Structure 1
Amino acid sequence: MQAYSLDLRQRVAQACAEPGARQAQVAQRFCVSVAFVGNLLRRQRQTGQVAALPGRGGPPRCLSAAAQAWLVAQVGRQPDATLAELRDGLLAESGQWVSLGAVWRVLDEHGLRRKKKPARH
């Protein structure tokens, strides 16, 4: 989710500083939640800032760089391997089990996205 812009944050804080302003009215006026307004004002009181916190980056990778390199090399050796076959090969090679999604993300990041094979009739 994208953080609200600094400009919007400043306008919300300024509107809350007006005499008689209520958080619910300000939230409705700027189409934000009342919780956002309350959190913004608390952050402003505690730090003097209204800027968004920096992103935290998300969870760490479950595959090491060596495992990712092995997957890419394996696709070069066996380009028609399925995601399940690649995952099973990685399990045999490194002893690490990962989801099919994790395998797909590595291949996608290296431009090796797997296409679905057409159904046979």
Structure 2
Amino acid sequence: MKAYSIDLREKIVAAHIQEKISIRQVAIRFAVSKSLVQKLVKQQQVEGNLQPKQRDKPQFSHLTNAEVELRELVVENQDATLVELCELFALKTGNWVSRTAMCCALQKLGLNRKKNIAE
């Protein structure tokens, strides 16, 4: 979602501080949430500006370019749990990843860890 314009942010804060309108009434007037009005008023008081905050960069995952290693691990260790695959990946590459990251990476690659019952 795009950040609200600085002009709108200034109008929201001015309505609350200068016109002495309650936060709830300001939120209704500008069709925004009450928490946004609270956040903007606090930001104006603490930081002295109403600039939108920069979004964090996406976090880097060691599994992003490790498709070959993951496929090898799954083939060699078909009965391994996610935690065991994380440990094996750490031993193989020297990079530890979380169980959740491992699960997401396996799903993206379409690697099924369930045993084949039809055998």
In the superposition, the TM-score normalised over structure 1's length comes to 0.53
Distance in 2, matches of 1:14 and 1:44, equals 10
Structure 1: unaligned runs, 5 residues or longer:
none
Cα distance, 1:11 vs. partner?
4.3
Aligned counterpart, 1:102: 101
> Residue type of the partner of 1:72?
E
Query: Are 1:120 and 2:117 matched, yes or no?
Result: yes
AA in 2 matched with 1:120: I
The 3 A distance-change label for structure 1 pair 116 and 86 is closer
**Equivalent residue number for residue 40 of structure 2:** 40
SS of 1:26 mapped into structure 2: helix
Are the structure 2 counterparts of residues 116 and 31 from structure 1 closer, same or farther at C-alpha, using a change threshold of 3 Å?
A: farther
| Superposed displacement of residue 91, structure 1 | 3.7
Change (3 A) 1:77 1:32: same
Alpha-carbon distance change, 78 to 96 in structure 1, aligned in 2, over 3 angstroms: closer
The 1:76/1:94 distance shift into structure 2, 3 A limit, reads: closer
Structure 1 segment 40-59 matched on structure 2, within 5 A: 40-45=40-45, 46-47=47-48, 49-57=49-57
Distance in 2, matches of 1:50 and 1:25, equals 20
Q: CA deviation at 1:55?
A: 1.5
TM-score normalized with structure 2 length? 0.54
- Which aligned pairs between 1:22-101 and structure 2 lie closer than 5 A? 22-29=22-29, 30-33=31-34, 35-45=35-45, 46-47=47-48, 49-57=49-57, 61=60, 64=62, 69=65, 71-77=66-72, 80=75, 81=78, 84=82, 86-94=85-93, 97-101=96-100
CA displacement at 1:90 relative to structure 2: 1.2
- Within 2, Cα distance between the matches of 1:118 and 1:107? 15
Unmatched segments (≥5 aa) in structure 2 = none
**CA RMSD after TM alignment:** 4.0
